[in-house]
Amino acid sequence: MRLELKLLAEVGIIGLPNAGKSTLISVISAAKPKIADYPFTTLVPSLGVVRKPTGDGTVFADIPGLIAGAHTGAGLGHEFLRHIERTRVLLHLIDVTSEDPIANYHIIEQELQAYGRGLADRRQIIALNKVDAVDDTLDVGAIAAQLQAILGQIPVFPISAVARIGLEPLLQEIWQLLSP
Residues that bind ligand GDP (CB under 6 A): 15, 17-23, 35-37, 41-42, 129-130, 132-133, 160-162
Binding characters for Mg ion, 91-130, by CB under 5 A (x = yes): ----------------------------------------
Give me the residues paired with residue 50 across strands: 58
Q: What angle do CA 16, 52, 87 make, to 5 degrees?
A: 40
Nearest distance in Å: CB 130, ligand GDP: 4
Choose among Mg ion, ligand GDP, none what residue 23 binds, the Cβ cut-off being 5 to 8 Å by kind.
Answer: ligand GDP
Instruction: Give dist(CA 44, CA 47) in Å, integer.
Output: 10
| 3-state secondary structure (DSSP) of residue 93 | strand
Instruction: Give dist(CA 129, CA 20) in Å, integer.
Output: 7
Please identify, using beta-carbon distances, which residue of 58 and 129 lies nearer to ligand GDP: 129
| 3-state secondary structure (DSSP) of residue 146 | helix
Among 18, 26, 42, 160, binds Mg ion (CB under 5 A): 42
Residue 46 touches Mg ion, criterion: CB under 5 A: no
